[in-house]
Amino acid sequence: MFPLFVTKSKGAPTGKEGRSSTTTKQSHVAICPFAYPPQPETFFLLSRKIAAANRDVQVTMFTNVFNAMYLYWFWDPEQDHNLAFAAVGDWTSSAPADATLEEHLKVYMDEIGPNLRKSFDQFEEEVGSKITYVVADAFLAGVCREIAEERGVSWSAVWNSSATSLASYMHADEIQRKIEESFINVTPGVPVLPQASSRSLNNVSQFLPGLPEGIPAHYLPYGVLVPGNDSPVIKLFQSMALSLPKAEAVLINSLQNLESSVATALLKNTFHFGGPFTLTLPFPPIELDRTQTEAIFSFLGGHNHHPFSVLYINLSDSNTVPDEELHALAEALEAIKVPFLWYIAPRWPRVELPEGFVERTSKSGQGLVVSHSWGGVRLELFEMKVLSHKAVGMQLRNGSWSSVMESIATGVPIICRPTVKLFDQALNATLVSSWEIGTAVEGGVLTKYSAIDAINMVRMSRLKGFAIAQLKRDAEEDAANANGNSIQNLNNFITLVTK
């Protein structure tokens, strides 16, 4: 049975199902992932690796009930006998059903501290093992630092994005101050930073040496250029920036050879590269129902005679991309006849592509559009298999850091169309272009011609491919070699938290 302990809170069932062994452990590591956006797989795989490194250590992942039940797909009663899950909070959020992401975040951040404390206490009582170490998603650094200090235990953090975005958060006050100092003629009564960020600030490294050259100010993550206010997102980032320097270690999902200059200039020596997590914390092979995958791999196999020709498209949450952009993309694909595999996440109302587009491209063999939930398992877990197929040579994604890491790990150039403004997708799109491993859609908006230009640009870069091929070799060396920098840093991190 799955080891889920559900705390006694309003709206949630009580009790436990098949709890793992209650033998008292000397060490008990609490893993605390962040809920927005949900990234339960990364923290589950890290939890499993920590548990496997020392079977005398109890590892507990404190997450919401939905994530815990989702992870049932991957939990193995023999392999994971010292790994358990504790539900944090209720089954449902107290935010209104139509709340914005910021409103959900406010409710979440208001509740996560009390909920974590309650879950820690109840789970410790249940298993008879005091928590001795806390591993936090970096976004929860502020809350987890407070809890760790209250309990007199050490803590570390995991940053599941780039060192560049992390450095910009850590030095946001400095960036703001230097930009303000550089602007004298401003409108009286109007905050300086919004005026400054709207001007032609095309190289933020002039304000913070160590950041990569050529990053426009408005591409920095949300909150970096905005002074303190009541926004829950900005408060979250500020709390993180103040707390992370106090962590014993911070593990970053990136490569030494990719961002070492940023880390050396702007981050403490307790920050270490452990990525790409898609290689250092890989998912075990998972077999899906053949009816769900047969059409996809049959389509890709039909293009094996033209290696690297297929464009893989997944913009994740299609709700954030206007239908007119999706229509423009469809027109571009037909215009240049590029083979494509397009995954559209199920949503309501459903995405309506141009009339006849799916039928025409399917009949001609040019493309395949798929849209289903994969039997409850997220498609992202199988994208490495899709991207590793020899027919796939390009991808169009939202620019999330995980998609950039998948691009490097597979050597498949990426086109970025950012879809979420609250985090770092726009910055990632800029980094992708500067590293010459892909490009960004011009203006961040898909039109017929911006899509054609981006696809043709990546096609040409594929002919060269030197930068991404070298980064792929670096990633494999760092993540697959026992002496690789990322593997060593990951192992040292595990040793630290289980000491």
290-477 has the same fold as 4-164+234-282+483-497: yes
Q: Is the pLDDT of residue 8 over 70?
A: no
pTM score of the predicted model: 0.89
pLDDT tens-digit series, residues 62-111: 998 888 887 877 888 888 889 999 888 765 566 676 777 777 778 888 88
Q: Tokens for 145, please give them.
A: 């630092």
376 or 381, higher pLDDT = 381
Contact 35, 51 (CB under 8 A): no
Nearest to 383 by CA among 412, 360, 416, 348: 412
Please provide the DSSP assignment of 90-118 as one string: -SS-SS-TT--HHHHHHHHHHHHHHHHHH
Return all residues near 388 (Cβ < 8 A) that are at least 6 apart.
410
Q: How confident is the model at residue 290, as a pLDDT?
A: 67
Q: Is the pLDDT of residue 59 over 90?
A: yes
Mean pLDDT of the chain: 83
Q: Tokens for 395, please give them.
A: 């991808």
Residue 415 dihedral angles phi and psi, to the nearest 5°: -105, 130
Q: How confident is the model at residue 209, as a pLDDT?
A: 86
Contact 375, 288 (CB under 8 A): yes
Place 199 in a pLDDT band, splitting at 50, 70 and 90.
very low
Place 373 in a pLDDT band, splitting at 50, 70 and 90.
low
Cα–Cα distance for residue pair 337/446, rounded to 1 Å: 17
Q: Is the pLDDT of residue 2 over 60?
A: no
Q: Where are the domains of the chain?
A: 4-164+234-282+483-497, 290-477
For the chain, what is the total number of helices (H) and then of strands (E)? 19, 15
Provide, rounded to the nearest whole percent, the portion of the chain with pLDDT above 90.
Answer: 47
- Long-range Cβ pairs for the range 280-286 (8 Å, 24+): 280/479, 280/486, 280/487, 280/490, 281/42, 281/45, 281/46, 281/49, 281/490, 282/45, 282/384, 283/41, 283/45, 283/74, 283/381, 283/384, 284/74, 286/73, 286/74, 286/377, 286/381, 286/382
411 or 203, higher pLDDT = 411
CATH class of 4-164+234-282+483-497: alpha beta
Give me the mean pLDDT over the 183-204 stretch.
Answer: 53
Nearest to 493 by CA among 340, 270, 299, 297: 270
Provide, rounded to the nearest whole percent, the portion of the chain with pLDDT above 70.
Answer: 82
Q: Tokens for 418, please give them.
A: 């950012």
Nearest to 333 by CA among 311, 364, 351, 352: 311
Q: Tokens for 396, please give them.
A: 């169009």
Where does 290-477 sit in CATH, by number? 3.40.50.2000
